[in-house]
Each structure stands twice: as structure tokens, then as C-alpha cells.
Structure 1
């Protein structure tokens, strides 16, 4: 049985126990009150109550004293049912107690009937109280929908249900906030898409317009315009690919197909992809990893992730500096892959934000010509592997640390 199921079982037992205890207490109290009432009427039978009943139900006769006996014998009433009330000046007052004795004979049947009717009333009151729990739950459920910002409060007997309803309320609030955040992200995506695609597209249109308006341009200038337009078109292609990729990773779970890969050769191949840019700026690369060590990853996707990190490192490394890719076994038997460069630092307050989509930091390591999605894509891929990525930047050195299980 799950913890949640066990809590529900305990809650149900506690609620039933409470109802049973309440029923027993109310029953005991009712019996005591009923017995006290019976005792009161029993002991007061010859007192004021009995006299009141006899006076209201009796038939009175005023007879001559010498004729009373003969007259009473003529009535179809047992002699013992007559009672002499008073005698004065040769006259007697006699009353017929037949009705009173009949009522008295029904005393115990009436008492039993009253007892059961009263007990039914007690049980109905308890049932009404139990139904009140359902009304309380119904109002609480309505409150979860209408007043999500207010916590649910129920009776002590419904504590576990109160906790579950508050969890539902908090989850609904979280979903609402997530929906709002998703809408904001979507609007950002549209804004960034329009801005980042428009910039290179405007350049391409501009260069082509110049060549169209001046067909007699010198060959050298025409080649320069064609080269610039091609570079902007390639940038536009890269931006479009990044947008499609981050959207694909965002809408679906990234499928990971792991295989054993030689970690040193893997990192060397990634570094070689950036050799032309590094040579142009006199940047060198170094791979620090064991020759025969193997890592179990999806090589295509992880190459994309680490490649994005290396691209960022090369873009912001100082000319003539060194970019280092290292890999070593972590203490928890996982892998720690580090890409470090010497150059422009990342401000401490931006170390977390650089992995957000479309992130830009104007005065530090900005996107510089891309959509700001490279590190976000790297994070998506690393987390799909069950790992994490973070950045450290101090004393002119920036390190991107990837931890993989």
C-alpha cells in the first residue's frame, strides 16, 4: 500500500471511530436523560402529576351517603375504580378513575415508544452531522475552483483530505503560472524570431539591391557584396535551424540512444570542428582526458551540446589564448566534462541566466550574432541524459561544467 493510500485508510478509520464514539456518547446521554424522566414520573405518580391527570380524566358523582353504595353498583364500572373525594353533611363526592387507570396501564408501552422515537431522533441528528462532512467537502471543492489563492480548511476529522485538496489547489496554481509563463515565452519567441531573422535578412536584401541597382560594379566590390550576402544568408540558415531545434526539444521528450564512446577521441573531434576559427584568431585547443576511457552517451546529441559550449568559449576567448576540453571520472562514478577559456567573464548575476532561451547580456558574453539558443539547447540535451550543466567565471577564466551519470 502506498503512503497516500495508508494515510487515506488511517483517515477513514479515524473518521469512523469518531462517529462511533459520538454515537455511543449521545446514546449514553440519551439513556440517562430518559431514565431520569421515567424516574421522575414514576415517583411523582401519587403526587401532583398523578393528581393532575386523575382530575382531568375522572367523572365526578355527588351522592347521598346512604344511597352511594347502591348507586355505584348500578354502574358498569369495577368498584375499585371509584374513589371518595370528600364527605360532608350526609353527601359524598365520588370520582370514576377508570380512564386514569387505563392511561396508567399504558405507561410502559408509551415509555418504550417514546424511547425509540427519541433514539431515532438522536440517530438522525448524528446522520445530519455526518452529512455535514459532505457539505463541507462540497464547499471546499467549490472553493478550490473559485478561490485558488485561499487555502482549504476543513474539520480536524478531514485533515488528510484537507491536505490533498491543498495539494490540488497548489498544483492548479502552478499550472496556471506555467501557462502564463509559456504564453510569455511564446511571445518572446515571436519577438526574438522577428528581430534575429530580420537583421541578416535586411543585410541580404540590402547587398542584393545594391548589386541590382549598380550592374556595373567593379568585380572586387561585387565579390565583397556577394560574400557578405552569403555570410548573412548562412547566419539566417543557422538561426532558423536553432529555432526549429529548440522548439522540437521543447515540445517533445528528447530521445537518447546511448552507446559507449571513447571520451578523448570524442572531445578531439568536437574541437577540430572549430579549428578554422581558432586558427584565424591564433587560439589553440587542448584535450585532457584518458586515452582508453569510455563514456556512455548519445554521441550525436552530446556532440551538439558540447559543440555549442565550445562555440561559446571560442567566441569569447581572447586572441592567442587556449581553450581546454577536459573529462574525468567524478566522485559519484559519473563523468565531469569541463570546457574552459580565457577571455571575457560572465557576471555572477548572469551565470544561471545564460542557459535560458534567448538570453542576452549586453555588457558581457552576449549572443553575438545568434539567437541565444546554443547554451539552452546544450542544457536540454545534458538534462535529457540525466545530467546537469553550470558555469563558473572568475579571474579571466570561464568554465562550463557538465556532469553526466
Structure 2
């Protein structure tokens, strides 16, 4: 017999065995008491009636009665005869063989009735078990039909009731998360459509001008071509960013670590962002000691750091400085990227690293990307076993990238 692993099944098993262990002795005692009472009261009168129905009286003379006795004695059945003397001679005699035969079946019948009662009690217990199964099936069916429906189960199924409540809460929570993610994804599609439409419209507009105005001066033609190229590059960046976050979202990021100088990594990223920072009159100051060495994936961490620094440059005020520092202790390294500019609200600080999150007023098309860079940075940092966070107060915003040393 396989062992029951479910706590609820074990509880029901104990309950059913307990009912049988209590009910069977009680039933046995009551049945025995009733049988003895009937045997001393009803059975004697009932036996007399049965004897009268199954055996008739017959008159025998004395000689015939003696011969009959000899006959029954030879057959060893003399105790089956019942004789009553008749006034004037002779006997009324009857054969009680059928009566004794029926009487011998009394205990067999009682035993059969007792066993039928035991079977009936077992059926009642089984019906109770089936009833609980039916209650459970109805509760599960109702839960599938309406997850908000109240789960009604008896106290004997309290364990299953608690488990169903937990399953329902998890299902509802997952549904809420899925619905929220779907909403954010739909918003992202709308934002991307808007961000892509803007540079695409400019490209089409300037190309149309070049096509319809073949006689415009060379300098103006060069200016229009340059603007169209710039907008096309912007469009290409948006598409690349979208595909990158999609790729990171669908598969685990492979991390290939190696020793690298923290100062070299930060300086290389700062040099890459120099044109963007210079266009805004923003400087990037890298303050990292030369002897700081990290064991990380340099390409992917450079991508994460670039996204954070690009975000800082995009929202820094004109003529301000973006500071990049690194702190290293025994167990972890912390990149700090600080800028002076637009403050991020505490509510948005909890969500800016989530996939498909975008703060409308902080993600206008003339600043930064499509709002996906920080989500990509988080994917990369988490793949390194680290964490990323931010704090913003009085216009000073600092991003913290923490990775194990």
C-alpha cells in the first residue's frame, strides 16, 4: 500500500479510521445487548409459533408411540419428538425436526445481520469520504469558474481549504503582475511608435524637400542631408535599443569575467559619451584610483555603465558635471554616477529599472533613448550577481551599481 504523502489525506485517513474504531465496538455491544434481550423475551414466543406452523400434532396409541420412539431412537432423533399424554390413553405427538433445524440457523442469521450492519457502517464512512471528495471537486470547479468565489469546505478539509486559498492568492497575484506587465508593454509600444515616428517624419520631410527642390543651394542641401542622416541614426539607435532589451528579456545574459582596471573601464565609457556631453556643455569627471581592479565582464559592464552615464548626461543641467566614482571594499565594488539636474520622484525611483517602465515627463524624445537603457543595465548587473539602485534629492541624482569583487 503506497504511503499517503498529502497532509490532508493523512488527516482524513486518521479521521475515518477513528470513526470505524469507535463505531464498530459501540455497534457490537449494542447488537449483543439487543440479541440477548430478544432471546429471553421474543424468541421463546416466536419459537412456539414457528413450531406450531411447521409441525402438526398426531395421535398415537401407546403401542404406536412405543414403536415410534424405537424408530427415532434408532435414528438418534428421539429428542425431536414432543409427546403429550391423552386422557383415556395414547399420545399426541409432533416432530420438532423442522423447528430445531430453523432454530439452528438463528445464530447464523444473527451473525449475518451483524455483518450486514458492519458493512452498512463501512458504507456510511465511505460515503462520508466520498462526500468530502465531492465537496473538494465542487470547490475546485467553482474556483476555476470564478477565482474570486468564496471557497466553502468543511472543517475536516481545512488543510485543503488553506492550500486552495493560497493557490488562489498566488494565481490572482500572478494575474495582476501579468496584467501590469502587459499594460506596460502596450505603453512601451505606444512610446516607441511615437519616438520612432518623430525622427522618421523628419527624415521623410527633409528627403522630400531634397527631391522636390533640386535647385536649392549646395550648403542648404548639405544641411538637409545632415539633418536627415542624424534623424536616421537616431531611429537606428531606437530600434537597436528595443531589440537589445527584448533579447535580454528572453534569454539569460552570458557573463564572461576577467580582470580589468576600474579606472580604464570608466574612462573608456566617458570618452565614448564625450560628444553627447560636449553637445550639452556637460563635463564628465572620472575619479577612480589606478590600482582598483575588478573581476567582471568588461563589455557588458561597460554597456551597463554607459546606459547609466548616458541617462545622467541626458538629464543633467547645462554647464554641470557628471561625476563617476568607484568604491571597493573587501566583498564588493560600487560605481557611483552623480548628476545635477532634474529630480526623480521617490515613486519613480522604485520603478525606473523595471522593464517597460517609462516616466512620461522624463523620457521625452529629445532626451536619452526610449526609456529602456536602465532596464538593460539592471539585467547586466543582476547577471553579475549585483544590484542597481538610485537616490535623488534636491536635484542631485546618484546611481549605485554594486557588483561582487
TM-score (norm 2): 0.81
Deviating more after overlay: 13-22 vs 31-40: 13-22
Match of 1:293 in 2: 292
Distance 1:38 1:381 in 2: 84
Measured at CA, do residues 167 and 258 of structure 1 come closer, stay the same or move farther in structure 2, by a change above 3 Å?
farther
Match of 2:204 in 1: 205
Indicate conservation of the 8 Å contact 1:360/1:367, yes or no.
no
Distance 1:285 1:188 in 2: 33
Measured at CA, do residues 195 and 101 of structure 1 come closer, stay the same or move farther in structure 2, by a change above 3 Å?
same
Q: Which of the numbers 31, 34, 49 marks the counterpart of 2:31? A: 34
Match of 2:75 in 1: none
Match of 1:105 in 2: 104
Indicate conservation of the 8 Å contact 1:41/1:49, yes or no.
no
Match of 1:283 in 2: 282
Distance 2:396 2:403 in 1: 22
Residue 106 of structure 1 and its aligned partner are, at CA, apart by 2.4
Residue 328 of structure 1 and its aligned partner are, at CA, apart by 1.5
Indicate conservation of the 8 Å contact 2:184/2:356, yes or no.
no
Distance 2:373 2:103 in 1: 100
Measured at CA, do residues 19 and 362 of structure 1 come closer, stay the same or move farther in structure 2, by a change above 3 Å?
closer
Report matched runs for 1:62-211 at 5 Å.
81-82=81-82, 99-150=98-149, 152=151, 154-156=153-155, 158-211=157-210
Match of 2:269 in 1: 270
Match of 1:44 in 2: 41
Residue 40 of structure 1 and its aligned partner are, at CA, apart by 1.0
Residue 56 of structure 1 and its aligned partner are, at CA, apart by 5.5
Match of 1:337 in 2: 335
Give the secondary structure class of the aligned counterpart of 2:299: helix
Deviating more after overlay: 340-349 vs 287-296: 287-296
Indicate conservation of the 8 Å contact 2:188/2:358, yes or no.
no
Give the secondary structure class of the aligned counterpart of 2:5: helix
Distance 1:179 1:250 in 2: 15
Indicate conservation of the 8 Å contact 2:188/2:357, yes or no.
no
Give the secondary structure class of the aligned counterpart of 1:8: coil
Residue 100 of structure 1 and its aligned partner are, at CA, apart by 4.0
Distance 1:45 1:102 in 2: 19
Q: Deviations over 1:326-367 (max 9, x none)?
A: 222368x22322211111212233222333445444545645
Distance 2:93 2:201 in 1: 127
Indicate conservation of the 8 Å contact 1:270/1:307, yes or no.
yes
For structure 2, the residue ranges without an aligned partner over 5 or more in a row are 73-77
Match of 1:3 in 2: none
Deviating more after overlay: 223-232 vs 10-19: 10-19
Match of 2:366 in 1: 368
Residue 284 of structure 1 and its aligned partner are, at CA, apart by 2.6
Measured at CA, do residues 361 and 104 of structure 1 come closer, stay the same or move farther in structure 2, by a change above 3 Å?
closer
Distance 2:305 2:311 in 1: 10
Match of 2:13 in 1: 16
Measured at CA, do residues 237 and 328 of structure 1 come closer, stay the same or move farther in structure 2, by a change above 3 Å?
same
Measured at CA, do residues 308 and 260 of structure 1 come closer, stay the same or move farther in structure 2, by a change above 3 Å?
same
Indicate conservation of the 8 Å contact 1:355/1:375, yes or no.
yes
Match of 2:345 in 1: 347
Distance 1:404 1:235 in 2: 31
Indicate conservation of the 8 Å contact 1:7/1:160, yes or no.
no
Residue 311 of structure 1 and its aligned partner are, at CA, apart by 0.8
Residue 192 of structure 1 and its aligned partner are, at CA, apart by 2.7
Indicate conservation of the 8 Å contact 1:344/1:365, yes or no.
no
Residue 45 of structure 1 and its aligned partner are, at CA, apart by 5.0
Indicate conservation of the 8 Å contact 2:80/2:97, yes or no.
no
Give the secondary structure class of the aligned counterpart of 1:341: strand
Number of matched residues?
A: 394
Distance 1:72 1:181 in 2: 107
Distance 1:198 1:317 in 2: 26
Give the secondary structure class of the aligned counterpart of 2:390: strand
Distance 1:99 1:340 in 2: 113
Pairwise CA RMSD: 3.6
Deviating more after overlay: 315-324 vs 156-165: 156-165
Measured at CA, do residues 147 and 95 of structure 1 come closer, stay the same or move farther in structure 2, by a change above 3 Å?
farther
Residue 23 of structure 1 and its aligned partner are, at CA, apart by 1.8
Indicate conservation of the 8 Å contact 2:80/2:95, yes or no.
no
